[in-house]
Structure 1
Protein backbone atom coordinates (compact mmCIF):
# COMPACT_ATOMS: atom_id res chain seq x y z
CA UNK A 1 0.00 0.00 0.00
CA UNK A 2 1.27 3.43 -0.95
CA UNK A 3 0.24 6.89 0.20
CA UNK A 4 1.15 10.07 -1.65
CA UNK A 5 0.69 12.90 0.83
CA UNK A 6 2.23 15.88 2.59
CA UNK A 7 2.00 17.41 6.10
CA UNK A 8 0.62 20.67 4.63
CA UNK A 9 -2.36 18.83 3.16
CA UNK A 10 -5.24 18.74 5.63
CA UNK A 11 -6.82 15.76 3.85
CA UNK A 12 -3.47 13.96 4.03
CA UNK A 13 -3.46 14.46 7.79
CA UNK A 14 -6.92 12.90 8.01
CA UNK A 15 -5.83 9.78 6.13
CA UNK A 16 -2.54 9.41 7.99
CA UNK A 17 -4.31 9.60 11.35
CA UNK A 18 -6.74 6.89 10.19
CA UNK A 19 -3.88 4.66 9.01
CA UNK A 20 -1.96 5.10 12.26
CA UNK A 21 -5.08 4.46 14.36
CA UNK A 22 -5.64 1.16 12.52
CA UNK A 23 -1.96 0.21 12.63
CA UNK A 24 -1.79 -0.37 8.87
CA UNK A 25 1.65 -0.36 7.24
CA UNK A 26 2.11 1.68 4.10
CA UNK A 27 4.86 3.23 1.99
CA UNK A 28 4.96 7.00 2.36
CA UNK A 29 5.71 9.42 -0.49
CA UNK A 30 5.91 13.17 0.25
CA UNK A 31 4.46 15.39 -2.49
CA UNK A 32 4.68 19.05 -1.49
CA UNK A 33 1.79 21.07 -3.01
CA UNK A 34 3.37 24.43 -2.12
CA UNK A 35 6.41 23.64 -4.27
CA UNK A 36 4.11 22.17 -6.95
CA UNK A 37 5.49 18.64 -6.70
CA UNK A 38 1.90 17.51 -7.27
CA UNK A 39 2.18 19.08 -10.74
CA UNK A 40 5.19 16.97 -11.75
CA UNK A 41 4.44 15.07 -14.95
CA UNK A 42 4.61 11.54 -13.50
CA UNK A 43 2.30 12.36 -10.60
CA UNK A 44 -0.04 14.39 -12.81
CA UNK A 45 -0.44 11.48 -15.23
CA UNK A 46 -1.58 9.30 -12.34
CA UNK A 47 -3.77 12.00 -10.79
CA UNK A 48 -4.83 14.89 -13.11
CA UNK A 49 -6.72 16.53 -10.24
CA UNK A 50 -3.29 17.01 -8.59
CA UNK A 51 -5.04 16.82 -5.20
CA UNK A 52 -3.65 15.06 -2.15
CA UNK A 53 -3.70 12.47 -0.78
CA UNK A 54 -3.62 9.54 -3.20
CA UNK A 55 -3.89 6.02 -1.79
CA UNK A 56 -2.87 3.00 -3.84
CA UNK A 57 -3.32 -0.65 -2.93
CA UNK A 58 -2.06 -2.71 -5.89
CA UNK A 59 -4.20 -1.60 -8.84
CA UNK A 60 -6.81 0.04 -6.59
CA UNK A 61 -6.31 3.84 -6.45
CA UNK A 62 -8.45 6.21 -4.33
CA UNK A 63 -8.25 10.01 -4.37
CA UNK A 64 -10.82 11.40 -1.89
CA UNK A 65 -9.88 11.44 1.80
CA UNK A 66 -13.27 10.26 3.07
CA UNK A 67 -13.29 7.34 0.61
CA UNK A 68 -9.73 6.39 1.57
CA UNK A 69 -10.63 6.39 5.27
CA UNK A 70 -13.73 4.27 4.66
CA UNK A 71 -11.59 1.84 2.65
CA UNK A 72 -9.01 1.72 5.47
CA UNK A 73 -11.79 1.00 7.97
CA UNK A 74 -13.10 -1.90 5.86
CA UNK A 75 -9.57 -3.21 5.36
CA UNK A 76 -8.86 -3.16 9.09
CA UNK A 77 -12.09 -5.08 9.74
CA UNK A 78 -11.13 -7.66 7.10
CA UNK A 79 -7.66 -8.11 8.58
CA UNK A 80 -9.03 -8.52 12.11
CA UNK A 81 -11.71 -11.00 11.07
CA UNK A 82 -14.28 -9.21 13.23
CA UNK A 83 -17.71 -8.00 12.11
CA UNK A 84 -18.51 -4.86 14.12
CA UNK A 85 -21.99 -3.35 14.07
CA UNK A 86 -22.64 -0.63 11.50
CA UNK A 87 -22.30 2.80 13.12
CA UNK A 88 -24.40 5.26 11.15
CA UNK A 89 -23.45 8.10 13.50
CA UNK A 90 -19.78 7.76 12.54
CA UNK A 91 -20.72 7.90 8.86
CA UNK A 92 -22.94 10.94 9.38
CA UNK A 93 -20.21 12.86 11.19
CA UNK A 94 -17.68 11.95 8.51
CA UNK A 95 -20.01 13.37 5.87
CA UNK A 96 -20.62 16.52 7.92
CA UNK A 97 -16.90 17.16 8.43
CA UNK A 98 -16.14 16.42 4.77
CA UNK A 99 -18.76 18.95 3.64
CA UNK A 100 -16.62 21.88 4.84
CA UNK A 101 -13.88 22.83 2.40
CA UNK A 102 -10.91 24.39 4.25
CA UNK A 103 -9.21 25.81 1.15
CA UNK A 104 -10.76 29.28 1.07
CA UNK A 105 -10.59 29.63 4.85
CA UNK A 106 -6.87 28.81 4.79
CA UNK A 107 -6.11 31.16 1.90
CA UNK A 108 -8.05 34.11 3.29
CA UNK A 109 -6.21 33.82 6.62
CA UNK A 110 -2.77 33.53 5.02
CA UNK A 111 -0.76 36.79 4.79
CA UNK A 112 -1.32 38.28 1.34
CA UNK A 113 2.37 38.56 0.40
CA UNK A 114 2.97 34.85 1.05
CA UNK A 115 -0.23 33.77 -0.69
CA UNK A 116 0.53 35.85 -3.78
CA UNK A 117 4.14 34.63 -3.90
CA UNK A 118 3.13 30.95 -3.80
CA UNK A 119 0.27 31.47 -6.25
CA UNK A 120 2.57 33.15 -8.78
CA UNK A 121 5.12 30.35 -8.38
CA UNK A 122 2.50 27.66 -8.98
CA UNK A 123 1.22 29.42 -12.13
CA UNK A 124 4.76 29.55 -13.51
CA UNK A 125 5.22 25.87 -12.77
CA UNK A 126 2.02 25.04 -14.65
CA UNK A 127 3.15 27.00 -17.69
CA UNK A 128 6.51 25.19 -17.60
CA UNK A 129 4.79 21.78 -17.35
CA UNK A 130 2.58 22.60 -20.34
CA UNK A 131 5.74 23.02 -22.42
CA UNK A 132 7.37 19.94 -20.86
CA UNK A 133 4.44 17.60 -21.57
CA UNK A 134 2.43 18.82 -24.61
CA UNK A 135 0.11 15.80 -24.40
CA UNK A 136 -1.01 16.98 -20.95
CA UNK A 137 -1.16 20.68 -21.89
CA UNK A 138 -4.96 20.86 -21.95
CA UNK A 139 -5.22 19.37 -18.44
CA UNK A 140 -2.48 21.65 -17.13
CA UNK A 141 -4.36 24.57 -18.66
CA UNK A 142 -7.44 23.59 -16.62
CA UNK A 143 -5.34 23.78 -13.43
CA UNK A 144 -3.93 27.14 -14.53
CA UNK A 145 -7.43 28.52 -15.03
CA UNK A 146 -8.43 27.17 -11.61
CA UNK A 147 -5.45 28.98 -10.05
CA UNK A 148 -6.60 32.32 -11.49
CA UNK A 149 -10.19 31.65 -10.41
CA UNK A 150 -9.03 30.87 -6.88
CA UNK A 151 -7.20 34.21 -6.70
CA UNK A 152 -10.42 35.98 -7.68
CA UNK A 153 -12.45 34.07 -5.09
CA UNK A 154 -10.04 34.94 -2.29
CA UNK A 155 -10.71 38.61 -2.94
CA UNK A 156 -14.47 38.12 -2.58
CA UNK A 157 -15.51 38.95 1.03
CA UNK A 158 -18.78 37.03 0.63
CA UNK A 159 -16.94 33.79 -0.07
CA UNK A 160 -14.71 34.33 2.96
CA UNK A 161 -17.75 35.07 5.13
CA UNK A 162 -19.55 31.95 3.93
CA UNK A 163 -16.54 29.73 4.66
CA UNK A 164 -16.23 31.14 8.19
CA UNK A 165 -19.94 30.73 8.86
CA UNK A 166 -19.85 27.11 7.73
CA UNK A 167 -16.89 26.44 10.02
CA UNK A 168 -18.58 28.07 13.01
CA UNK A 169 -21.71 25.99 12.40
CA UNK A 170 -19.63 22.80 12.28
CA UNK A 171 -17.76 23.72 15.46
CA UNK A 172 -21.01 24.58 17.27
CA UNK A 173 -22.45 21.18 16.30
CA UNK A 174 -19.30 19.45 17.53
CA UNK A 175 -19.37 21.43 20.80
CA UNK A 176 -22.94 20.29 21.41
CA UNK A 177 -22.06 16.68 20.61
CA UNK A 178 -19.02 16.65 22.91
CA UNK A 179 -21.33 17.70 25.71
CA UNK A 180 -22.86 14.22 25.40
CA UNK A 181 -19.97 11.99 24.30
CA UNK A 182 -16.22 11.77 24.84
CA UNK A 183 -15.44 11.64 21.13
CA UNK A 184 -17.26 12.82 18.05
CA UNK A 185 -19.45 9.77 17.47
CA UNK A 186 -19.46 8.14 20.89
CA UNK A 187 -17.11 7.22 23.71
CA UNK A 188 -14.59 5.53 21.41
CA UNK A 189 -12.21 7.20 18.97
CA UNK A 190 -13.50 6.68 15.43
CA UNK A 191 -12.71 7.61 11.80
CA UNK A 192 -14.92 10.68 12.32
CA UNK A 193 -12.35 11.97 14.82
CA UNK A 194 -9.51 11.27 12.37
CA UNK A 195 -11.31 13.54 9.90
CA UNK A 196 -12.13 16.33 12.35
CA UNK A 197 -8.91 16.74 14.35
CA UNK A 198 -6.85 18.12 11.42
CA UNK A 199 -9.37 20.97 11.15
CA UNK A 200 -8.51 22.00 14.70
CA UNK A 201 -4.81 21.71 13.84
CA UNK A 202 -5.29 23.97 10.81
CA UNK A 203 -7.07 26.58 12.95
CA UNK A 204 -4.15 26.47 15.39
CA UNK A 205 -1.58 26.75 12.58
CA UNK A 206 -3.32 29.93 11.38
CA UNK A 207 -3.16 31.37 14.93
CA UNK A 208 -6.96 31.46 15.22
CA UNK A 209 -7.29 29.19 18.24
CA UNK A 210 -8.67 31.93 20.49
CA UNK A 211 -11.43 32.81 18.06
CA UNK A 212 -12.57 29.31 17.15
CA UNK A 213 -11.39 26.78 19.76
CA UNK A 214 -10.74 28.37 23.17
CA UNK A 215 -14.24 29.86 23.26
CA UNK A 216 -15.70 26.33 23.00
CA UNK A 217 -14.67 24.55 26.23
CA UNK A 218 -15.75 21.06 25.18
CA UNK A 219 -13.76 21.25 21.95
CA UNK A 220 -10.76 22.64 23.84
CA UNK A 221 -10.90 19.72 26.29
CA UNK A 222 -11.30 17.25 23.42
CA UNK A 223 -8.42 18.82 21.49
CA UNK A 224 -6.10 18.60 24.51
CA UNK A 225 -7.06 14.93 24.86
CA UNK A 226 -6.43 13.88 21.26
CA UNK A 227 -3.06 15.66 21.09
CA UNK A 228 -1.69 12.84 23.26
CA UNK A 229 -2.66 10.14 20.77
CA UNK A 230 0.28 8.61 18.82
CA UNK A 231 -1.62 9.12 15.55
CA UNK A 232 -1.79 12.88 16.15
CA UNK A 233 1.89 13.08 17.06
CA UNK A 234 2.91 11.22 13.89
CA UNK A 235 0.59 12.91 11.38
CA UNK A 236 0.53 16.46 12.78
CA UNK A 237 2.52 17.08 15.96
CA UNK A 238 5.82 15.96 14.40
CA UNK A 239 5.59 18.87 11.96
CA UNK A 240 3.53 21.60 13.63
CA UNK A 241 3.80 21.40 17.43
CA UNK A 242 5.44 24.53 18.85
CA UNK A 243 8.67 25.57 17.11
CA UNK A 244 8.40 22.63 14.69
CA UNK A 245 5.90 24.52 12.53
CA UNK A 246 8.51 27.22 11.86
CA UNK A 247 11.05 24.61 10.83
CA UNK A 248 8.54 22.93 8.52
CA UNK A 249 7.46 26.20 6.91
CA UNK A 250 11.00 27.58 6.66
CA UNK A 251 12.23 24.60 4.64
CA UNK A 252 9.51 25.13 2.04
CA UNK A 253 9.96 28.93 1.97
CA UNK A 254 13.70 28.56 1.39
CA UNK A 255 13.12 26.04 -1.40
CA UNK A 256 10.61 28.31 -3.12
CA UNK A 257 12.90 31.34 -2.93
CA UNK A 258 15.85 29.43 -4.40
CA UNK A 259 13.79 28.01 -7.27
CA UNK A 260 12.31 31.42 -8.00
CA UNK A 261 15.73 33.08 -7.93
CA UNK A 262 17.15 30.63 -10.47
CA UNK A 263 13.86 30.36 -12.38
CA UNK A 264 13.73 26.61 -11.86
CA UNK A 265 10.09 25.84 -12.39
Structure 2
Protein backbone atom coordinates (compact mmCIF):
# COMPACT_ATOMS: atom_id res chain seq x y z
CA UNK A 1 0.00 0.00 0.00
CA UNK A 2 1.66 3.28 -1.12
CA UNK A 3 1.19 5.29 2.05
CA UNK A 4 3.41 8.35 1.95
CA UNK A 5 4.50 10.85 4.57
CA UNK A 6 3.20 14.25 3.58
CA UNK A 7 5.30 17.31 4.39
CA UNK A 8 2.27 19.30 5.54
CA UNK A 9 1.18 19.28 9.16
CA UNK A 10 -2.31 20.46 8.20
CA UNK A 11 -2.81 17.39 6.01
CA UNK A 12 -1.68 15.05 8.79
CA UNK A 13 -4.21 16.77 11.04
CA UNK A 14 -7.16 16.11 8.71
CA UNK A 15 -9.89 13.82 10.01
CA UNK A 16 -12.34 11.93 7.88
CA UNK A 17 -11.90 11.16 4.18
CA UNK A 18 -10.46 13.82 1.90
CA UNK A 19 -9.80 13.44 -1.82
CA UNK A 20 -7.49 15.65 -3.86
CA UNK A 21 -8.63 15.11 -7.44
CA UNK A 22 -9.34 16.61 -10.86
CA UNK A 23 -12.73 16.42 -12.55
CA UNK A 24 -11.75 14.59 -15.73
CA UNK A 25 -8.68 12.70 -14.51
CA UNK A 26 -9.49 9.04 -15.14
CA UNK A 27 -7.50 8.03 -12.05
CA UNK A 28 -9.54 10.49 -9.97
CA UNK A 29 -12.74 9.14 -11.53
CA UNK A 30 -11.73 5.64 -10.45
CA UNK A 31 -11.47 6.71 -6.81
CA UNK A 32 -14.63 8.81 -6.82
CA UNK A 33 -16.55 5.87 -8.32
CA UNK A 34 -15.37 3.58 -5.53
CA UNK A 35 -16.24 6.13 -2.85
CA UNK A 36 -19.75 6.47 -4.28
CA UNK A 37 -20.26 2.70 -4.62
CA UNK A 38 -19.25 2.16 -1.00
CA UNK A 39 -21.29 5.12 0.25
CA UNK A 40 -18.35 6.83 1.93
CA UNK A 41 -18.73 10.48 2.80
CA UNK A 42 -15.77 12.51 1.59
CA UNK A 43 -14.50 16.05 1.33
CA UNK A 44 -13.48 17.31 -2.10
CA UNK A 45 -10.27 19.22 -2.79
CA UNK A 46 -10.28 19.96 -6.51
CA UNK A 47 -6.85 20.35 -8.11
CA UNK A 48 -7.16 22.01 -11.53
CA UNK A 49 -4.64 20.33 -13.82
CA UNK A 50 -5.39 22.74 -16.66
CA UNK A 51 -4.18 25.57 -14.42
CA UNK A 52 -1.24 23.39 -13.29
CA UNK A 53 -2.31 23.51 -9.66
CA UNK A 54 -0.58 20.14 -9.26
CA UNK A 55 2.73 21.96 -9.84
CA UNK A 56 2.32 24.32 -6.88
CA UNK A 57 4.49 24.03 -3.81
CA UNK A 58 1.36 23.49 -1.72
CA UNK A 59 0.31 20.41 -3.65
CA UNK A 60 3.78 18.94 -4.18
CA UNK A 61 4.18 19.09 -0.39
CA UNK A 62 1.25 16.66 -0.24
CA UNK A 63 2.39 14.38 -3.07
CA UNK A 64 6.00 14.82 -4.24
CA UNK A 65 5.13 13.28 -7.64
CA UNK A 66 2.74 16.14 -8.33
CA UNK A 67 -0.11 13.92 -9.52
CA UNK A 68 -3.70 13.23 -8.51
CA UNK A 69 -5.53 11.55 -6.94
CA UNK A 70 -4.43 11.64 -3.32
CA UNK A 71 -6.62 10.23 -0.57
CA UNK A 72 -6.20 11.37 3.02
CA UNK A 73 -7.96 9.31 5.69
CA UNK A 74 -7.55 10.50 9.27
CA UNK A 75 -4.18 11.99 8.38
CA UNK A 76 -2.94 8.95 6.43
CA UNK A 77 -1.94 9.92 2.89
CA UNK A 78 -2.40 7.33 0.15
CA UNK A 79 -1.48 7.65 -3.54
CA UNK A 80 -1.89 5.55 -6.73
CA UNK A 81 -5.52 5.16 -7.72
CA UNK A 82 -5.73 1.36 -7.92
CA UNK A 83 -4.21 1.10 -4.46
CA UNK A 84 -6.57 3.75 -3.16
CA UNK A 85 -9.66 1.90 -4.38
CA UNK A 86 -8.41 -1.28 -2.69
CA UNK A 87 -7.94 0.69 0.52
CA UNK A 88 -11.42 2.25 0.32
CA UNK A 89 -13.10 -1.11 -0.24
CA UNK A 90 -11.18 -2.77 2.59
CA UNK A 91 -11.72 0.07 5.07
CA UNK A 92 -15.29 1.07 4.29
CA UNK A 93 -16.93 -1.43 1.97
CA UNK A 94 -16.18 -4.57 3.91
CA UNK A 95 -14.48 -5.80 0.72
CA UNK A 96 -17.89 -5.90 -0.95
CA UNK A 97 -16.27 -5.01 -4.27
CA UNK A 98 -13.55 -7.67 -3.96
CA UNK A 99 -14.14 -11.35 -4.88
CA UNK A 100 -13.68 -13.53 -1.80
CA UNK A 101 -11.37 -16.13 -3.31
CA UNK A 102 -10.67 -18.34 -6.27
CA UNK A 103 -10.08 -17.47 -9.91
CA UNK A 104 -12.04 -14.22 -9.75
CA UNK A 105 -9.78 -13.02 -6.93
CA UNK A 106 -6.73 -13.98 -8.98
CA UNK A 107 -8.17 -12.13 -11.97
CA UNK A 108 -8.67 -9.01 -9.86
CA UNK A 109 -5.02 -8.94 -8.86
CA UNK A 110 -3.90 -9.32 -12.48
CA UNK A 111 -6.52 -6.87 -13.73
CA UNK A 112 -5.50 -4.05 -11.40
CA UNK A 113 -1.86 -4.53 -12.36
CA UNK A 114 -2.75 -4.49 -16.05
CA UNK A 115 -4.91 -1.40 -15.58
CA UNK A 116 -2.04 0.42 -13.89
CA UNK A 117 0.35 -0.61 -16.66
CA UNK A 118 -2.10 0.53 -19.37
CA UNK A 119 -2.18 4.03 -17.88
CA UNK A 120 0.93 5.07 -19.81
CA UNK A 121 -0.58 4.13 -23.17
CA UNK A 122 -3.91 5.72 -22.30
CA UNK A 123 -2.18 8.90 -21.17
CA UNK A 124 -0.38 9.20 -24.51
CA UNK A 125 -3.54 8.50 -26.53
CA UNK A 126 -5.53 10.95 -24.43
CA UNK A 127 -3.08 13.79 -24.91
CA UNK A 128 -2.73 13.05 -28.62
CA UNK A 129 -6.42 12.65 -29.50
CA UNK A 130 -8.20 14.78 -26.87
CA UNK A 131 -5.98 17.25 -25.02
CA UNK A 132 -4.06 19.01 -27.79
CA UNK A 133 -6.50 21.96 -27.89
CA UNK A 134 -6.36 22.28 -24.09
CA UNK A 135 -3.02 21.34 -22.54
CA UNK A 136 -0.07 22.18 -24.78
CA UNK A 137 2.35 24.55 -23.03
CA UNK A 138 4.74 27.26 -24.19
CA UNK A 139 8.39 27.31 -23.09
CA UNK A 140 7.74 29.51 -20.07
CA UNK A 141 4.90 27.33 -18.89
CA UNK A 142 7.01 24.20 -19.37
CA UNK A 143 9.82 25.68 -17.31
CA UNK A 144 7.46 26.64 -14.50
CA UNK A 145 5.84 23.22 -14.65
CA UNK A 146 9.18 21.41 -14.52
CA UNK A 147 10.40 23.49 -11.60
CA UNK A 148 7.09 23.19 -9.80
CA UNK A 149 6.50 19.46 -9.96
CA UNK A 150 10.10 18.32 -9.67
CA UNK A 151 8.88 15.23 -11.54
CA UNK A 152 11.28 14.84 -14.47
CA UNK A 153 9.27 12.03 -16.08
CA UNK A 154 6.03 14.02 -16.01
CA UNK A 155 7.76 17.20 -17.17
CA UNK A 156 9.49 15.32 -20.01
CA UNK A 157 6.17 13.92 -21.17
CA UNK A 158 4.59 17.38 -21.24
CA UNK A 159 7.59 18.80 -23.09
CA UNK A 160 7.36 16.13 -25.77
CA UNK A 161 3.59 16.59 -26.02
CA UNK A 162 3.93 20.39 -26.35
CA UNK A 163 6.74 20.31 -28.92
CA UNK A 164 6.11 21.18 -32.57
CA UNK A 165 6.83 17.56 -33.51
CA UNK A 166 4.62 16.08 -30.81
CA UNK A 167 4.67 12.35 -30.15
CA UNK A 168 6.44 10.18 -32.69
CA UNK A 169 4.16 8.23 -35.02
CA UNK A 170 5.67 4.98 -33.78
CA UNK A 171 4.87 5.79 -30.15
CA UNK A 172 1.24 6.49 -31.00
CA UNK A 173 1.05 3.24 -32.99
CA UNK A 174 2.48 1.23 -30.09
CA UNK A 175 -0.03 2.76 -27.67
CA UNK A 176 -2.86 2.02 -30.10
CA UNK A 177 -1.73 -1.59 -30.41
CA UNK A 178 -1.69 -1.88 -26.62
CA UNK A 179 -5.25 -0.54 -26.53
CA UNK A 180 -6.37 -3.07 -29.14
CA UNK A 181 -4.76 -5.91 -27.21
CA UNK A 182 -6.39 -4.70 -24.01
CA UNK A 183 -9.85 -4.57 -25.62
CA UNK A 184 -9.41 -8.10 -26.93
CA UNK A 185 -8.51 -9.32 -23.45
CA UNK A 186 -11.52 -7.61 -21.86
CA UNK A 187 -13.82 -8.95 -24.58
CA UNK A 188 -12.63 -12.50 -23.88
CA UNK A 189 -13.29 -12.08 -20.16
CA UNK A 190 -16.79 -10.74 -20.76
CA UNK A 191 -17.69 -13.67 -23.00
CA UNK A 192 -17.84 -15.86 -19.87
CA UNK A 193 -18.56 -13.36 -17.08
CA UNK A 194 -21.29 -10.78 -16.58
CA UNK A 195 -18.78 -8.36 -15.05
CA UNK A 196 -15.01 -8.16 -15.24
CA UNK A 197 -14.97 -8.89 -11.52
CA UNK A 198 -17.02 -12.05 -12.02
CA UNK A 199 -20.75 -12.49 -11.63
CA UNK A 200 -20.91 -9.43 -9.36
CA UNK A 201 -19.80 -5.86 -10.06
CA UNK A 202 -16.52 -4.95 -8.36
CA UNK A 203 -13.17 -3.23 -8.35
CA UNK A 204 -11.99 -4.67 -11.66
CA UNK A 205 -14.97 -3.03 -13.35
CA UNK A 206 -14.34 0.29 -11.63
CA UNK A 207 -10.66 0.24 -12.51
CA UNK A 208 -11.29 -0.37 -16.22
CA UNK A 209 -14.48 1.52 -16.97
CA UNK A 210 -12.85 4.93 -16.56
CA UNK A 211 -10.30 3.95 -19.21
CA UNK A 212 -12.98 2.85 -21.67
CA UNK A 213 -15.07 5.93 -20.92
CA UNK A 214 -12.05 8.08 -21.79
CA UNK A 215 -11.54 6.16 -25.02
CA UNK A 216 -15.18 6.78 -25.86
CA UNK A 217 -14.54 10.53 -25.77
CA UNK A 218 -11.87 10.13 -28.46
CA UNK A 219 -14.39 8.19 -30.60
CA UNK A 220 -12.39 5.00 -30.26
CA UNK A 221 -14.19 2.32 -32.34
CA UNK A 222 -15.65 -0.27 -29.98
CA UNK A 223 -18.00 -2.00 -32.45
CA UNK A 224 -15.59 -4.94 -32.88
CA UNK A 225 -15.94 -5.57 -29.13
CA UNK A 226 -19.71 -6.03 -28.48
CA UNK A 227 -19.21 -7.51 -25.03
CA UNK A 228 -17.18 -4.49 -23.96
CA UNK A 229 -19.82 -2.16 -25.42
CA UNK A 230 -22.62 -3.87 -23.47
CA UNK A 231 -20.57 -3.88 -20.26
CA UNK A 232 -19.70 -0.20 -20.69
CA UNK A 233 -23.37 0.71 -21.17
CA UNK A 234 -24.40 -1.23 -18.05
CA UNK A 235 -21.62 0.28 -15.95
CA UNK A 236 -22.38 3.83 -17.07
CA UNK A 237 -25.99 3.28 -15.98
CA UNK A 238 -25.01 2.75 -12.34
CA UNK A 239 -25.99 5.65 -10.04
CA UNK A 240 -22.47 5.77 -8.63
CA UNK A 241 -21.04 6.28 -12.12
CA UNK A 242 -23.30 9.25 -12.71
CA UNK A 243 -22.45 10.72 -9.31
CA UNK A 244 -18.71 10.16 -9.61
CA UNK A 245 -18.07 10.81 -13.29
CA UNK A 246 -20.94 12.20 -15.34
CA UNK A 247 -21.70 15.09 -12.99
CA UNK A 248 -18.07 16.27 -13.13
CA UNK A 249 -17.92 16.45 -16.93
CA UNK A 250 -18.73 19.89 -18.26
CA UNK A 251 -20.65 20.15 -21.51
CA UNK A 252 -18.04 22.62 -22.79
CA UNK A 253 -15.17 20.20 -22.31
CA UNK A 254 -17.10 17.32 -23.88
CA UNK A 255 -17.93 19.55 -26.85
CA UNK A 256 -14.23 20.32 -27.33
CA UNK A 257 -13.39 16.62 -27.18
CA UNK A 258 -16.08 15.76 -29.74
CA UNK A 259 -15.12 18.56 -32.10
CA UNK A 260 -11.43 17.73 -31.98
CA UNK A 261 -12.12 14.03 -32.54
CA UNK A 262 -14.20 14.90 -35.61
CA UNK A 263 -11.47 17.21 -36.94
CA UNK A 264 -8.83 14.51 -36.55
CA UNK A 265 -11.07 12.03 -38.37
CA UNK A 266 -11.59 14.47 -41.27
CA UNK A 267 -7.82 14.94 -41.39
CA UNK A 268 -7.38 11.15 -41.50
CA UNK A 269 -5.22 11.34 -38.40
CA UNK A 270 -7.64 10.03 -35.78
CA UNK A 271 -7.16 6.92 -33.68
CA UNK A 272 -9.16 5.07 -36.34
CA UNK A 273 -6.41 5.79 -38.87
CA UNK A 274 -3.82 4.24 -36.56
CA UNK A 275 -6.00 1.15 -36.07
CA UNK A 276 -6.34 0.82 -39.84
CA UNK A 277 -2.56 0.99 -40.18
CA UNK A 278 -2.19 -1.83 -37.66
CA UNK A 279 -4.54 -4.00 -39.66
CA UNK A 280 -2.84 -3.38 -42.99
Judged with a 3 Å threshold, the aligned counterparts in structure 2 of structure 1 residues 50 and 137 are, in CA distance, closer, same or farther, namely closer
The counterpart of 1:29, out of the listed 24, 41, 45, is 45
Is the Cα contact below 8 Å between 1:55 and 1:68 reproduced in 2? yes
How many residue pairs match? The answer is 233
Is the Cα contact below 8 Å between 2:20 and 2:47 reproduced in 1? yes
2:87 matched to 1:75? no
The counterpart of 1:88, out of the listed 106, 110, 120, is 106
Q: State the superposition RMSD in angstroms.
A: 2.8
The CA distance in 1 between the partners of 2:76 and 2:24, in whole Å, is: 25
The counterpart of 1:206, out of the listed 202, 214, 218, is 218
Is the Cα contact below 8 Å between 1:3 and 1:26 reproduced in 2? yes
Measured against aligned partners, the alpha-carbon deviations of 1:46-92 in whole angstroms (never above 9, x if no partner) come to 11211110111123111101110111121125599xx9724222222
Q: 1:101-120 residue pairs with structure 2 within 5 A?
A: 101=119, 102-110=122-130, 112=132, 114=133, 118-120=135-137
Judged with a 3 Å threshold, the aligned counterparts in structure 2 of structure 1 residues 71 and 31 are, in CA distance, closer, same or farther, namely same
The CA distance in 1 between the partners of 2:131 and 2:81, in whole Å, is: 27
Query: Counting helix residues as a fraction of each chain, which structure ranks higher?
Result: 1
Judged with a 3 Å threshold, the aligned counterparts in structure 2 of structure 1 residues 45 and 249 are, in CA distance, closer, same or farther, namely farther
SS at match of 1:120: coil
TM-score of the aligned structures, taking structure 1 as reference length: 0.77
Residue 225 of structure 1 is matched in structure 2 by 234
CA shift for structure 1 position 245: 3.2
TM-score of the aligned structures, taking structure 2 as reference length: 0.74
The CA distance in 2 between the partners of 1:58 and 1:36, in whole Å, is: 27
Q: Which runs of 4+ in 1 moved over 6 A?
A: none
Q: Give unpaired runs (5+ residues) of structure 1.
A: 131-135, 251-265
Q: Give unpaired runs (5+ residues) of structure 2.
A: 1-16, 257-280
